[in-house]
């Protein structure tokens, strides 16, 4: 009897009817987020942030404050010294190997200096000192300047004309503020880092500058 009652009982819902509405479990609301407050995430480390903390977090944690510029002050270091009779001499040394009074030929035949010297500063700037050292090894025939020279190539980082690409839509953006303004709109529209494609950032930055930042993604 029981069987009959069970099978003949009306279906709880018909196939064509509306699907049963699953009540959201109370657990999902344990961590409530105001509906009008979009989620902001760090585009480097993916940490969840608020609209207010987002830009500051990215700059302070992920943007190096210094840059190193290959041959910032040319190919020579000037080290004033005194001759035997006490008169001042300005001795010039090659920044790469330290040789005294190098001529143009020395730079070209030993260090391929022009590879950098003729480029705009932005294209010979490095976010980390060891990247600059690596650059010297690869490009300047293995000669890495001494630490004193390297320190003299250090400058305050300037991102006002740095080129970025948006990982959401691939648009090219110039300058840190422009980038923040643009990416903010995507977060406000509801995108999250799950929608971010770091390859979009890479393909448009053929100059290699952006690539230095990708290590922060790992
Ligand atoms: Zn971060
Ligand atoms: Zn040299
Ligand atoms: Zn160089
Ligand atoms: Zn975009």
pLDDT by residue (tens digit) across 121-138? 888 999 889 999 999 999
| Stretch (H or E) spanning 40 | strand 40-41
The number of C-alpha atoms within 13 Å of 89 and in the hemisphere containing its C-beta is 11
Position 33 scores a pLDDT of 53
Q: How many domains is the chain partitioned into structurally? A: 2
The answer to whether residue 14 sits within a structural domain is: no
Ligand number nearest CA of 94 is 2
Q: Which ligand is nearest to the CA of 183?
A: 4
Q: Is 6 a residue whose pLDDT tops 80?
A: no
134 within a domain of the structure (yes/no) = yes
On whether both 121 and 187 belong to a single domain, the answer is no
Clarify whether residues 82 and 149 are in a common domain: yes
Tell me whether residue 22 is in a domain: no
Identify residues whose C-beta is under 5 A from ligand 2, the ion.
94, 96-97, 99
Measured at the CA of 75, the angle between CA 73 and CA 79, to 5 degrees, comes to 75
Closest Cα to residue 153, out of 108, 198, 111, 121? 121
Query: How many Å lie between the centroid of ligand 1 and the Cα of residue 216?
Result: 8
Task: Specify the pLDDT at position 162.
Answer: 84
Q: Could you tell me what percent of the chain has a pLDDT over 90? A: 55
Residue 193 in this model has a pLDDT that exceeds 90: yes
Domain match, 167 and 144 both: no
User: In which element (H, E) is residue 126 found?
Assistant: strand 125-126
CA 134 to CA 36: how far, in whole Å? 47
| CA 181 to ligand 4 centroid distance, Å | 10
- The predicted structure's pLDDT at residue 34: 55
Last residue of a domain, one of 118, 136, 156: 156
How many angstroms does the Cα of residue 130 sit away from the middle of ligand 3?
13
Give me the mean pLDDT over the 22-41 stretch: 61
> Is the residue at 17 inside a domain?
no
- Best CA proximity match to 173, nearest among 201, 209, 145: 201
Answer yes or no: do 46 and 84 share one domain.
no
- Provide the pLDDT for residue 112: 95
Residue 6 domain-assigned (yes or no): no
The pLDDT score that the predictor gives to residue 103 is 93
- Output 68 or 24, whichever has higher pLDDT: 68
Alpha carbons 145 and 99: distance in angstroms, whole number:
12
Residues 80 and 133 in one domain: yes
Residue 194 tokens, joined = 């799950």
C-alpha 180 to ligand 3 mean position (Å): 31
Residue whose entry in the numeric block shows the structure tokens 């479990």: 25
Q: How far, in Å, from the CA of 42 to the mean position of ligand 3?
A: 32
Range of the structural domain that residue 190 is part of: 38-63+160-217
For residue 21, being part of any structural domain is answered with no
Lowest mean pLDDT among 5-14, 100-109, 151-160: 5-14
C-alpha 119 to ligand 4 mean position (Å): 30
- Ligand 1 geometric centre to CA of 211 (Å): 17
Give the confidence band of 188 by pLDDT, cuts at 50, 70, 90. very high
- Kindly state whether residues 188 and 204 are assigned to the same domain: yes
Residue 59 and residue 89 in one domain = no
Among residues 156, 178, 202, which one ends one of the domains?
156
Shared-domain flag, residues 53 and 105: no
For residue 101, being part of any structural domain is answered with yes
Give the whole-angstrom CA distance, residue 176 versus residue 195. 21
Q: Are residues 147 and 82 in the same domain?
A: yes
- 130-166 pLDDT, tens digit per residue, is 999 999 999 999 999 999 999 999 999 888 888 899 9
pLDDT value at 206 more than 50: no
DSSP letters spanning 62-91: IS-SEEEETTTT-SEEEEEEE-TTS-EEEE
Q: Across residues 8-27, what is the average pLDDT?
A: 46
Label residue 202 by pLDDT band (50, 70, 90): low
Residue 87, both tokens: 């008169």
Based on the domain organization, do 130 and 113 belong to the same domain? yes
| Distance from the alpha carbon of residue 136 to the mean position of ligand 3, in angstroms | 6
Res 47 pLDDT > 70? yes
CA 155 to ligand 2 centroid distance, Å: 23
Q: Residue 14 CA to chain centroid, in angstroms?
A: 55
In a domain? residue 31: no
Query: In whole angstroms, what is the distance from residue 69 CA to residue 4 CA?
Result: 86
Percent above pLDDT 70 for the chain: 76
Instruction: Point out the domain boundary residue: 107, 141, 156.
Output: 156
Residue 121 forms beta bridges with which residues?
Answer: none
> Which pLDDT belongs to residue 203?
45
Tally Cβ neighbours within 10 Å of residue 14. Answer: 8
Give yes or no: residues 134 and 84 share one domain. Answer: yes
Give the model's pLDDT for residue 99: 94
Mean per-residue pLDDT of the chain: 81
Same domain membership, residue 58 and residue 164 = yes
């Amino acid at each position: 009897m029981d069987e009959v009652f069970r099978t003949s009982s009306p279906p709880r819902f018909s196939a064509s009817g509306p699907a049963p509405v699953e009540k959201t479990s109370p657990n999902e609301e344990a961590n409530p987020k105001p509906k009008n407050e979009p989620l902001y995430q760090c585009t480097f480390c993916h940490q969840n942030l608020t609209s207010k903390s987002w830009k500051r977090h990215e700059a302070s944690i992920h943007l190096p404050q210094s840059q190193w510029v290959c041959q910032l002050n040319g190919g020579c270091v000037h080290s004033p010294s005194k001759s035997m009779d006490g008169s001042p001499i300005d001795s010039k040394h090659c920044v790469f190997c330290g040789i005294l009074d190098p001529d143009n030929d020395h730079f070209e035949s030993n260090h391929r200096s022009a590879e950098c010297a003729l480029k705009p500063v932005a294209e010979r700037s490095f976010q980390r000192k060891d990247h600059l050292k690596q650059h010297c090894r690869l490009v300047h025939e293995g000669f890495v300047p001494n630490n004193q020279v390297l320190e003299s190539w250090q400058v305050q980082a300037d991102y006002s004309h740095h080129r970025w690409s948006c990982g959401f839509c691939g648009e090219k953006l110039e300058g840190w503020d422009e980038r923040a303004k643009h990416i903010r709109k995507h977060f406000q529209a509801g995108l999250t880092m799950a929608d971010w494609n770091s390859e979009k950032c890479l393909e448009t930055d053929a100059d290699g500058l952006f690539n230095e930042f990708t290590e922060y993604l790992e």
